[in-house]
Amino acid sequence: MSEKTLAIIKPDAIKKKAAGKIFQRIEEEGFEISGLKMLHLSKEEAKEFYVVHNEKPFYESLTDFMSSGKIIVMILEKENAIANWREVMGVTDPALAAPGTIRHQFGFSIERNVVHGSDSLATAEWEINYFYKNNG
C-alpha cells in the first residue's frame, strides 16, 4: 500500500544548487512526487510549521533559517515512504549520517542539513495539510 510523506528541500540546498541532485535521488529511490511547489516561508509560517519545537533552544535559529530563502515542498509517495525517505535523508547531523545519504553528501550542520521529512503517519498528515490545504 502506498504511503505519503512530506519532504522539504531547505534553503541551504537551494543556495548550493543541490536541488536537482536531490530530485534525481528521489526518482532513483522510486518515489512518486505527487505534490511540488517552491515557496519562501515568512518567519511566522516557519514558526507555525515547526511549532512542535517551540520550547527547544534551537527553535528561533531554526525558524530564522527556514525563512531565510526559498524551499521546495514535496509530497512523496511509495510503499513505506516515511521510513524510506528518512533512511535516504540520513540522521539529522550530517557528520553522523551514513555515507550515501543526502544529509551526509550535502548537509553542513544539524540545522543546515538540506532536507526535511515527516517522522510518522500523523506528522505526515499534519505537514502535508499545512502546505497543501485546499490542494494548493
Report CA-CA distances (Å) from 32 to 27, 28, 84, 118.
Answer: 7, 10, 13, 16
Indicate if 40 belongs to the active site.
no
Rounding to the nearest 10 degrees, give the CA dihedral for residues 26, 90, 132, 127. Answer: 160
Closest C-alpha to 47, from 34, 39, 57, 59: 59
Bridge partner list, 62: none
* Active-site residue identified among 40, 53, 104, 116: 116
Looking at residue 92, its amino acid is: T
Active-site amino acid positions: 116
